[in-house]
């Protein structure tokens, strides 16, 4: 079986830029798409800054950084993805948006007669919902990376009910053999493995702040020092993005109808106020922008 050499990444936000960087650092040709050139430039700066920090920390050499940058190209035209062997969607956690994108990219790929794989980095949306928006449901699979992608070792691979054995095998080999990630196979249900366990824990921490049980700092220190977690739940929420966490929780609650998945009022109000965590400069903590 041939390895994948040409990858497209749909979206260059926090996750999309991390995926694009990781794939480029692994020696593959990467084409990144965004809706505007302003978004492209923001994503390019994010990737360049991450690579620069990797050099400063001794994780990359200057030559490796330059090689990774040379493997990255950018576009605002989905049609440019026609020659890709794998396209990874990494846009906002919005079911309708993702289904529309899958329909559009399916048209691009179908016109070339290729057997390209179409993957989603969704955190919680069932893959079958996305696969059925295309004319190639057997070629759709989930590749759920974790933030920050260049550092985190795990990838959840999620087959839809329609995913072929060949597509699943190609996705696993890509993540494990070409990117060097540890792969776990997750069921096609909202939240998969990690978020189905993680989100109730994060929401419980929000409820504790909401009820005045403890401060955000005390909750985080308790879990970091008492349970040896590398990061407390509220700092982790700020890293994930409170809007993303709310979207994941809503998807989980829609599927399971369990109260522990329901977004707490405090979380909803912080999102409405634009207090999204690190990316907005304010969440449960303040961050310099």
Q: How many helices (H) and strands (E) does the chain have?
A: 11, 8
171 lies in some domain: yes
* Burial classification of residue 260, based on how many CB atoms lie within 10 Å of its CB (0-12 exposed, 13-18 middle, 19 or more buried): middle
pLDDT at residue 289 in the model: 80
- pLDDT (average), residues 123-143: 94
pLDDT at residue 124 in the model: 85
Say what the pTM is.
Answer: 0.90
Q: Are 115 and 147 in contact (CB under 8 A)?
A: no
Sequence-separated (6 or more) residues with CB below 8 Å from residue 79: 108
Residue that is last in its domain, among 134, 162, 185: 185
- pLDDT (average), residues 10-19: 96
Question: Is it the case that residue 280 has pLDDT exceeding 80?
Answer: yes
* pLDDT bucket at 114, cuts 50 / 70 / 90: confident
Q: Within this chain, do residues 180 and 246 fall inside the same structural domain, yes or no?
A: no
Domain that holds residue 160: 6-185
Sequence-separated (6 or more) residues with CB below 8 Å from residue 66: none
64 lies in some domain: yes
288 lies in some domain: no
Q: Within this chain, do residues 175 and 264 fall inside the same structural domain, yes or no?
A: no
DSSP output for 24-40: HHTT-EEEEE-SSHHHH
Q: Nearest 5 degrees, angle CA 97-CA 10-CA 162?
A: 70
Q: Within this chain, do residues 153 and 28 fall inside the same structural domain, yes or no?
A: yes
Q: What's the pLDDT tens digit per position in 188-232?
A: 998 899 999 999 999 999 999 999 999 999 999 999 999 999 999
Q: Within this chain, do residues 54 and 159 fall inside the same structural domain, yes or no?
A: yes
283 lies in some domain: no
- pLDDT (average), residues 111-137: 90
Rg from Cα positions in the chain: 19
pLDDT at residue 36 in the model: 97
Question: Is it the case that residue 101 has pLDDT exceeding 80?
Answer: yes
127 lies in some domain: yes
pLDDT at residue 235 in the model: 98
Question: Is it the case that residue 1 has pLDDT exceeding 60?
Answer: no
Q: Within this chain, do residues 170 and 48 fall inside the same structural domain, yes or no?
A: yes
Question: Is it the case that residue 176 has pLDDT exceeding 60?
Answer: yes
CATH of the domain at 251: 1.10.1040.10
Q: In what order do the strands lie in the sheet with 72-75?
A: 72-75, 29-33, 6-10, 86-89, 117-120, 140-145, 154-159, 182-185
**What are the φ and ψ backbone dihedral angles of 13, each rounded to 5 degrees?**
-80, -150
Round to the nearest angstrom and report the end-to-end CA distance of the chain. Answer: 46
What's the Cα-to-Cα distance from 229 to each of 35, 191, 224, 226, rounded to whole Å? Answer: 37, 21, 4, 8
- What average pLDDT is seen over the chain? 95
Q: Which residues are catalytic?
A: 123, 144, 156, 195
Q: Could you give the CA distance from residue 194 to residue 190 in angstroms, rounded to a whole number?
A: 10
Q: Within this chain, do residues 180 and 220 fall inside the same structural domain, yes or no?
A: no
277 lies in some domain: no
Q: To 10 degrees, what angle do helices 194-211 and 233-240 make?
A: 110
pLDDT at residue 112 in the model: 67
CATH of the domain at 181: 3.40.50.720
Q: Within this chain, do residues 22 and 133 fall inside the same structural domain, yes or no?
A: yes
Quote the number of domains for the chain.
Answer: 2
DSSP output for 89-123: E---S-HHHHHHHHHHHHHHHHTTT---EEEE--S
Q: What's the pLDDT tens digit per position in 231-260?
A: 999 999 999 999 999 999 999 999 999 999
Q: Within this chain, do residues 38 and 122 fall inside the same structural domain, yes or no?
A: yes
* Number of residues that make up the chain: 289
Q: Within this chain, do residues 150 and 36 fall inside the same structural domain, yes or no?
A: yes
Q: Within this chain, do residues 212 and 103 fall inside the same structural domain, yes or no?
A: no
The tokens for 134 are: 């295309």
């Amino acid at each position: 079986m041939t390895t994948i050499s040409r990858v497209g990444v749909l979206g260059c936000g926090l996750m999309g830029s991390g995926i694009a960087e990781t794939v480029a650092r692994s020696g593959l040709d990467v084409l990144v798409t965004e809706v505007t050139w302003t978004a492209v430039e923001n994503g390019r700066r994010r990737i360049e800054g991450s690579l620069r920090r990797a050099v400063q920390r001794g994780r990359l050499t200057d030559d490796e950084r330059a090689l990774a940058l040379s493997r990255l190209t950018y576009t605002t035209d989905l049609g440019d993805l026609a020659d890709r062997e794998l396209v990874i969607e990494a846009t906002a956690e919005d079911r309708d948006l993702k289904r529309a994108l899958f329909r559009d990219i399916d048209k691009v790929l179908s016109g070339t007669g290729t057997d390209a794989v179409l993957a989603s980095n969704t955190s919680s949306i069932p893959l079958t919902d996305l696969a059925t928006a295309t004319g190639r449901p057997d070629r759709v699979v989930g590749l759920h990376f974790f933030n920050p992608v260049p550092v985190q070792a795990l990838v959840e691979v999620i087959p839809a009910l329609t995913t072929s054995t060949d597509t699943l095998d190609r996705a696993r080999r890509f993540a494990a053999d070409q990117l060097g990630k540890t792969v776990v196979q997750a069921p096609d249900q909202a939240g998969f493995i990690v978020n189905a366990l993680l989100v109730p824990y994060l929401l419980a921490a929000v409820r504790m702040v909401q009820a005045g049980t403890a401060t955000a700092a005390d909750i985080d220190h308790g879990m970091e020092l008492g349970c040896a977690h590398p990061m407390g739940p509220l700092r982790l929420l700020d890293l994930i993005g409170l809007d993303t966490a709310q979207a994941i929780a809503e998807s989980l609650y829609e599927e399971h109808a369990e109260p522990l998945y329901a977004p707490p009022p405090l979380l909803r109000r912080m999102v409405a106020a634009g207090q999204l965590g690190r990316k907005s400069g304010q969440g449960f903590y303040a961050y310099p922008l």
